[in-house]
Amino acid sequence: MNQPHLSQAIGRMEASPTTAMTDRATALREEGRDIISLSVGEPDFLTPPHVIEAAKAALDAGDTRYTPVTGTARLKRAAALHFERDLGIAADPASVIVTAGGKQAIFEALVATVSEGDEVIVPAPWWVSYPQMVRFCGGRVVPLVTHPHHGFRFAPGDLEALITPRTNWLMLNSPGNPTGAVYPEDMLQGIAGVLRRHPQVLVLSDDIYAPLNYTGRPHATLAALAPDLADRICTVSGVSKSHAMTGLRIGVATGPSWLVAAMGKLQSNSSGNPASISQAAAVAAFEGPQDFLADWRERFRARRDSVVAAVNAIPGLSCPIPDGAFYVFVDAAPLMQRFKDDGALALHLLEHGVAVVAASAFGGRDGFRISFAADDAVLAEAMQRIARALA
């Protein structure tokens, strides 16, 4: 319905389809239906106890006041340590901003830089919020289509073919949501070569899934591999996915000082500081033990392998093995004559007790995304339900 009070900016944006599917699954459950939700992007593991303790200690210490808008000095130091130790990026705490989740960092970076008509290259399938944020800013989304037979990765030449004088960002997400694509060092070097020829292009490197890399190779990221480009790269990370802290809403970003300052200006006039208790918890996450991450990674890898095997055993479904994150991007093209579109397919699966998200929500087609961040027995039951629903 046409609502005259809404701004043009909000009119260009749609609500997140992943959140919509999760809400729908929750509503059905509340009605008493037995629904397994594989639509949500959050680890099912418990938040590590040292993180919980740090949050409680902060509460007991009365740490309930405003903090500096862009984060406490302590957390900025801890985040700089994380960027250096885990991503290989030499980050000065002064060039770190703490946000309410990685999502806010990405939104602020785009709002601070994208003007009407600017072009933002977004590899597709994409994380649902990238195109919505670009449209909100008045920017034009330029899809860089990737394919399963190339591991959903683009080649440097594909990128260069889309760059114009109006291009101002490339969104780069490795390991990626929804495909699990991981860009190895040599591909990032190739991308860096293209970027050196186009100084107008900034890069949003979304490394939020960095610890969830099943390749056995260390995480590779552009700002570490191409320090000469660091003044054009905004690297976003956080604790939501790595430390099972989605509800605590802490993200961190580092980039050129002009950009971090602009993001801070926006934050100072909108959300203000991220929650003080959550910041104290995030310090513990970055400074505390990291050894549990290897165990979580192995458990996710085992789940990935069983879900991939189950998908490929169902007639009409197929998927490549994702190298990272906790999603499997399933192709269901051979089944599409049975359904109006992949939204109808996702609703059919929901009717059979499993919530997944249609591929079209991610700029893909004829398939769906499964999150395998769920217990083994739950995943096995979900895969049986999907098989029965499509039999």
Among 177, 179, 213, 221, binds ligand PLP (CB under 6 A): 177
Write out the binding residues for ligand PLP, residues 220-249 only, by CB under 6 A.
Answer: 238, 240, 246
> Rounded to an integer, what distance in angstroms lies between the CA atom of residue 86 and that of residue 67?
26
Smallest Cα–Cα separation from 177: which of 119, 129, 116?
129
108 binds ligand PLP (CB under 6 A): no
Binding piece for ligand PLP, criterion CB under 6 A, among 98-106, 262-270, 286-294, 366-374: 98-106
Q: Which range in 1-9, 97-105, 144-152, 273-281 contacts ligand PLP by CB under 6 A?
A: 97-105
CA atoms within 13 A on the CB side of 313: 12
Question: CA dist 324 to 195, 320, 321, 358, Å?
Answer: 25, 12, 9, 20
Q: Which of 43, 48, 71, 102 binds ligand PLP (CB under 6 A)?
A: 102
SS3 233: strand
Q: Which stretch binds ligand PLP (CB under 6 A): 7-15, 99-107, 224-232, 331-339?
A: 99-107
**DSSP per residue over 63-129, as a string?**
--S---TT--HHHHHHHHHHHHHHH-----GGGEEEESSHHHHHHHHHHTT--TT-EEEEEES--TH
Cα 238 to its chain centre, rounded Å, is 10
Query: Residue 245 CB, nearest distance to ligand PLP (Å)?
Result: 8
Please tell me the distance from the alpha carbon of residue 236 to that of residue 254, in angstroms, as a whole number: 7
- Under the criterion CB under 6 A, does residue 306 sit at the interface with ligand PLP? no
Surface-to-core class of residue 253, CB atoms within 10 Å of its CB (0-12 exposed, 13-18 middle, 19+ buried)? buried
Nearer residue to ligand PLP within complex by CB, 189 or 246: 246
Q: Is 264 in the site for ligand PLP (CB under 6 A)?
A: no
Told to check if 364 binds ligand PLP by CB under 6 A, we report: no
Least separation in angstroms between residue 387's CB and ligand PLP is: 27
Q: Which is nearer to ligand PLP, 277 or 389 (CB)?
A: 277
Residue 82 · residue 252 · CB < 8 Å = yes
CB of 190 to ligand PLP, least distance (A): 22
Q: Which residue is nearest to ligand PLP (CB)?
A: 101
Angstrom CA distances, 90 to 7, 80, 95, 228, 235, stand at 40, 8, 10, 12, 11
Q: Give the residue, chosen from 38, 188, 204, 208, that forms a contact with ligand PLP under the rule CB under 6 A.
A: 208
156-175 residues near ligand PLP, rule: CB under 6 A: 173
User: Does 17 help bind ligand PLP (rule: CB under 6 A)?
Assistant: no
**Cβ-based nearer residue to ligand PLP, 16 or 189:** 16
103 belongs to the binding site for ligand PLP (CB under 6 A): yes
Residues in 38-77 at the binding interface with ligand PLP, rule: CB under 6 A: 41
Q: How far is the CB of 239 from ligand PLP (least distance, A)?
A: 8
* 323 belongs to the binding site for ligand PLP (CB under 6 A): no
Q: Does 127 bind ligand PLP (CB under 6 A)?
A: yes
Q: Which residues contact 210 (CB under 8 A, 6 or more apart)?
A: 86, 87, 175, 219, 221, 237, 242
Q: Which amino acid is at 365?
A: R
Binding residue count for ligand PLP, defined by CB under 6 A: 13
Whole-angstrom CA distances from 325 to 34, 116, 161, 212, 379 are 27, 33, 28, 5, 16
Q: Which residue do the tokens 């860096």 mark?
A: 192
Query: Which positions touch ligand PLP (CB under 6 A)?
Result: 41, 101-103, 127, 173, 177, 206, 208, 238, 240, 246, 251
